Structure 1
């Protein structure tokens, strides 16, 4: 038996997967807002048994569900990739990050242009000094 709690975009839901010798059952339970540990524990202790006894979930034969074993190295890479992902919790944070990136790019462009202007100005001064020396002044 396996219980996975995930956020489906609007609500938190729990996915209960049970694999017996001949069948595979999957049940879905909506928690609503982010569930606390007590709510999950109450669901597991009191409501889960009734959900399983009603057999209201989707069932398939085990012969249809064949999972190949996952290579340990691949599993390790997937775990590392998931842990490195940073999740932004709100649209406001996403907008702030995007504006920060735009400011950063704009600042880099301005700095690059300023440096180019400085180079051309120094070059012009160097040329003027050279001409002044050749005129004998």
Structure 2
């Protein structure tokens, strides 16, 4: 697991990347203003495990949205050193992490839609029951 705290131009955020049984996963957490050490520690100890479990659960439900894990290739040591130096000069976010976050956002969006649809149906059923009770009350003549 790797966590990177960075400033994206507007807010401070944490990018958490990890390899699980389901493949490569990433999530983004926005802190807002510059976080202090205790805020980062609180995020790691309290919120991170819950967010990762949620991500794992969502991926289990919709496995086809996550990108396929890449096979590591053997690389010449000199080339590896050049790539490391090149990576140091690049911005913090990687395309792979952006794809994983986009997929996780799609999963969250699907879950939210499902929950709101269920809530709307429950409310509609509740209103129907109220209307039926009122109708029965009127028939009684009270």
**TM-score bracket, shorter-length normalisation:** 0.3 to 0.5
Q: TM-score, normalised by structure 2?
A: 0.45
Give the structure with the larger helix fraction: 2
Task: Pick 1 or 2: higher relative contact order, CA cutoff 8 A, min separation 6.
Answer: 2
